[in-house]
Amino acid sequence: MASSSTKTIQDLTQRDYKYGFVTDIEAETVPRGLNEDIIRAISEKKGEPEFMLEWRLKAYRNWLTMKEPTWANVHYPPIDYQNIIYYSAPKVKKQVGSLDEVDPELLKTYEKLGIPLGEQQRLAGVAVDAVFDSVSVATTFKEKLKELGIIFCSFSEAVLEHPDLVRQYLGSVVPYNDNFFAALNSAVFSDGSFAYIPKGVRCPMELSTYFRINAADTGQFERTLIVADEGAYVSYLEGCTAPMRDTNQLHAAVVELVALKNATVKYSTVQNWYPGDKQGKGGIFNFVTKRGKCLGENSKITWTQVETGSAITWKYPSCILQGDNSIGEFYSVAVANNYQQADTGTKMIHIGRNTRSTIISKGISAGHGQNTYRGMVKILKGARGARNYSQCDSLLMSSTCGAHTFPYIEVKNSTARLEHEASTSKIGEDQLFYCRQRGIKPEDAVNMIVSGFCKEVFRELPMEFAVEAQKLLGVSLEGSVG
Amino acid sequence: MSTARAGIEKDPYLAAFARLRKESPAWKGSWTRPLREAAITRFAEIGFPTLQEEEWRKTSVAPILRVPFAAQPAYSANGFTAKALERYTFEPWECTHLVFINGHFAPGLSRLRPLPEGVIVEPLAQALEKRRDEIEPHLARHADDRHHAFAALNTAFMQDGVYVRIADGASIEEPLHLLFISTSRGEPVVSYPRNLIVAGKGSRLSIVESYVGPHHDLYFTDALTEIVAGEDAAVDHYRLQRESEKAFHVAVLQADLGRYARLGSWNISLGGGLVRTDVNALFGAEGGEVRLDGLYITGGSQHVDNHTLIDHASPGCTSHELYKGVLDDRSRGVFDGRIIVRKDAQKTDAHQTNKNLLVSEDALVDSTPRLQILADDVKCTHGATIGQIDEDAMFYLRTRAISEAAARNLLIQAFVSEVLHGMRIEPIRAGLECLLFTRLRKGHGAGVEA
């Protein structure tokens, strides 16, 4: 039995990356390297107002003085930041009114990715702001959202059409000098999504963006800003796939969420970028700064992530719980297979009174994968009655992988209550035996057990996403139990 | 790495070393000199840690560096009498006591009892030359001073301590008590206690290290103990840290375990102004068992930092760790526990728990339990909690007409008893309980002795 299940695991873990293809579209790029001229060029190409350029330059000058962080439990060859093309846009520059005007090559790519960008999208109830490399090409459902006063558009559009909102909130959660990768992003970010939900509005559909890295050697520097005004509710989905590519690609995105009084923001991610081949060659470097601020009373931010891709993941979606009674939640499933390295977790910073946070993190390591949970729970002096519950479980699927847990707990208020629990184990022989005994194939048994292990997280995902995530997990781990 | 801190803080220590190299009669011609020189070179390279270093993120050593400490060159009783030492032992407790004052062995105050055959207990400074063949393979070979400036300093300046060797199959029933007393008498004094314990195959031993000092004295203790436990040996180690509330105390315990060796460690911190202890256990061969228990009870403006590292480098080893803290007043507790399970260490069973009780509004605590697991057939868990006295329990006691203060003390005692009850030397357990009880009743929840 052991050998057959080992084989199953191998089959599962060694499945090829399903989403590898390169779309041949003419791309407009700037020269390699990074200096102030490149930043000016990017800003000019996008026709940005003066304040944006200044902000970018400020970030760039700050970035020059910063050092790349080395504390994470990941190893990769040094990145030559002068050997990256910082801007790439498909040459279809004009904003388009209908799908017919969109380059058919692009549409095919989306089809392969399974984005419902046709008529059926209305049935699927998904408004997609598709980001192809760096420039938004089509935004749907805009009109419907417009009726409610919801702004959902590409970041470049927001800069031009809603400069006041952008100015007010850009960098308010992740300042331009926050960390090395955030500073780099602030200097060169190309595009991303912007959403504003006005007072008291409940966004009727899941907002969604598909990011896709396309042109070779193009770093992706996305910037997302979501603002939920008083009493608003929004659920946002982010999903990623990337074509197979041999050289490592850098991705340094920044996501900022702002929740005002009584507002709720739910941010869900399924990340499935190219993880490199079985020997650990290639793959995306994913260095992301994601942070949400519960600015007002009773506000709530929920991060849910399923991380199955990328060669290296460096990502800590965090919550600043500033408003009294605000709530932060973090649900994560991270998979590290083959030679993938994931250093991910969250930060919960309790500032307001009676703030609460929940952390559920599930790490799965297989092959030679290294999975690290790194989290911080910080209770500041004024955070009376703060409450935190953290649970980090790791599942080990081979004798060569690693699972690490580094929780940091800092308490400066004695009325706080915190609990942290972590466990690490492999799939139980008895569990497998039980399933096998009932005629379940080893592969299915492994899938069942893993799904059960991740259930608490999947439960938090929107329905459509949960299905996709479960499939993805099956693909990423096919054949993984010993 | 340590560029952030100006090198100038190292200078007094380097100068003291240069002086001793020239003048110290004990160093002259000793085989330990190259050892000392290598250590001071490493210290000069790494320098004192800064808050930027992961291992020292929560503990600033700057207050230590601001005081011009000097070591006491030779033994002096400094006015201590046997009577005055009684308060630092727990009665009735008949056993061998070795007393050290400001780092030097105090023969007149020590009490040696006949030892069973195969057991050697000697002050390290005496044993160094006489038993070079036995000591050289172990001294400074186990503790890592490449990343720990204070461990390097201790090796460079090591003064005295105990050398214990238990022959194969031998055992000593009575515990060994080492009492390290520091007193500054006006001039801040630094001492470098150093202990080496080599337990042979199948041997048994309990050792107790007490660190004490008179109230209000400003001094610095930089201690290091190396334990080498051979196959099937069982070693129990107790650290009772009751330094003066102004004292600085930095200590490292490194235990290397052989096949099926067992270690019990109780690390009790009650005193000290700024305290940092590192307790490290390494499983060098299969089947070892480690139990690390710790208790830190702090008050005033004390800062107590406990780092532990359990290195499961071999398969089939078990470790249980329980550290508990009670933090009062403006004190600060730090716990950083790391468990590493190496690639081939299958069938590892590791459990770690850290629980903290905050009894004042202004106390702070940082807890970082870490698991690094590189094998798959393992059972590892860790847990950390931070909380206050349970309101329901409080209410229960209050409805039974127990005063608020008494109820609070009862609950604190119940909280710490989990650690105390595991202790295998009854007089210490009872003595500590009594000590805590008195302290709690006096109203200061913790910390330094009055």
**Res. B318: pLDDT tops 90:** yes
Structure confidence at residue A462 (pLDDT): 79
Average pLDDT over residues B202-213: 94
The pair of structure tokens assigned to A364 is 């799965």
CA–chain centroid gap for B252, Å, is 6
Q: From CA A189, how far away is CA A181, in angstroms rounded?
A: 11
pLDDT exceeds cutoff 50 at A235: yes
Flag whether A375 is in a domain.
yes
Residue from the list A402, A413, A422 with its beta carbon closest to the beta carbon of B381: A422
A54, B71, B89, B272 from B217: Cα distances, Å: 57, 15, 20, 10
Distance between CA atoms of A369 and B168, rounded to whole angstroms? 44
Task: Report the distance separating Cα A364 and Cα A373, nearest Å.
Answer: 11
Chain B positions touching A415 (Cβ under 8 A) are: 361, 388
Work out the number of other CB atoms within 10 angstroms of the CB of residue A42: 23
**Among B69-83, B312-326, B404-418, the range of highest mean pLDDT:** B312-326
Q: Which residue has the tokens 């017919």?
A: A100
Question: Which amino acid is located at B340 in the chain?
Answer: I
Entry pTM: 0.80
Specify whether the CB–CB gap between A375 and A391 falls below 8 A.
no
From the CA of A399, how many Å to the nearest CA of chain B?
5
pLDDT at A55 over 50: yes
**Secondary structure letter of residue A179 according to DSSP:** S
- A454 vs B4 pLDDT, higher one: A454
Q: How far is A20 from chain B (nearest CA, A)?
A: 30
Q: What residues have CB less than 8 Å from B430, skipping those under 6 apart?
A: B90
Strand-pair partners of B97: B111, B177
pLDDT greater than 50 at residue A122: no
**B380–A408 C-beta distance less than 8 A:** no
* Structural domain count, chain A: 1
pLDDT in tens, A152-185: 888 888 899 999 999 999 999 999 888 999 999 9
Verify whether the Cβ–Cβ distance A409 to B346 is below 8 Å. Answer: no
Q: Looking at residue A63, what is its pLDDT? A: 92
Tell me the per-residue pLDDT of B188-201, one tens digit each, with 9 for 90 and over: 999 999 999 999 99
Tell me the average pLDDT across A37-62: 90
**Residue A482 within any structural domain of the chain:** no
Instruction: Please check whether residue A276 lies inside any domain of the structure.
Output: yes
Region A269-292: what's the mean pLDDT?
A: 83
Domain that holds residue A404: 2-477
**Residue A350 — very low, low, confident or very high, per pLDDT cuts 50/70/90?**
very high
Task: Provide the pLDDT confidence category of residue A11 given band limits of 50, 70 and 90.
Answer: low
Q: How far apart are CA B234 and CA B259, in angstroms?
A: 11
Domain boundaries, chain B: 73-389
Interface of A with B in 369-428 (CB under 8 A): 394, 396-426
Going along B108-247, which residue ranges are E strands?
Answer: 119-123, 162-166, 176-181, 189-191, 194-199, 204-212, 219-229, 234-242
In Å, what is the CA distance from A222 to each residue of A134, A432, B28? 8, 42, 66
More confident residue, A78 or A125: A78
pLDDT of res. A104? 63
Interface of B with A in 387-406 (CB under 8 A): 387-388
- How far apart (Å, rounded) are the C-alpha atoms in residues B13 and B18? 9
Calpha distance A456→A333 (Å, rounded): 10
Mean pLDDT of B268-288: 95
The predicted structure's pLDDT at residue B447 = 41
- In the predicted model, what is the mean pLDDT of residues B117-142? 93
Cα–Cα separations (whole angstroms), residue A457 to A10, A157, A185, A270, A356: 25, 34, 29, 12, 18
Give tens-digit pLDDT for B375-395: 888 888 888 899 888 889 999
The pLDDT-based confidence of A130 (bands split at 50, 70, 90) is low
Closest Cα to residue B311, out of B324, B333, B292, B293? B292
Per-residue model confidence (pLDDT) at position A310? 83
Is the pLDDT at B92 greater than 70? The verdict is no
Predicted confidence (pLDDT) per residue in B291-310, tens digit: 999 999 998 899 999 999 99
| Closest in B372, B380, B383 to A420, CB measured | B383
The β-bridge partners of A375 are A407
Give the pLDDT score at A9.
52
Query: Which candidate in A71, A424, A426, A480 is best for mutational testing of the B interface (most B CBs within 10 A)?
Result: A424
Residue A216: its pLDDT value, please? 42
Whether the predicted pLDDT of A299 surpasses 80? yes
pLDDT at position A378 is 93
pLDDT (tens digit, 9 = 90+) per residue, B95-117? Answer: 899 999 999 999 989 988 899 99
What burial letters (b/e) apply to B355-384, b meaning 16+ CB within 10 Å? bbbbbbebbbbbbbbbbbbbbbbbebbbbb
Cα–Cα distance measured from residue A330 to residue A316, given in angstroms and rounded to the nearest whole number: 10
What pLDDT shows up at residue A246? 46
- In this prediction, residues B157-180 reach a mean pLDDT of 94
| Across B427-443, average pLDDT | 82
Of residues B49 and A119, which shows the higher confidence score? Answer: B49
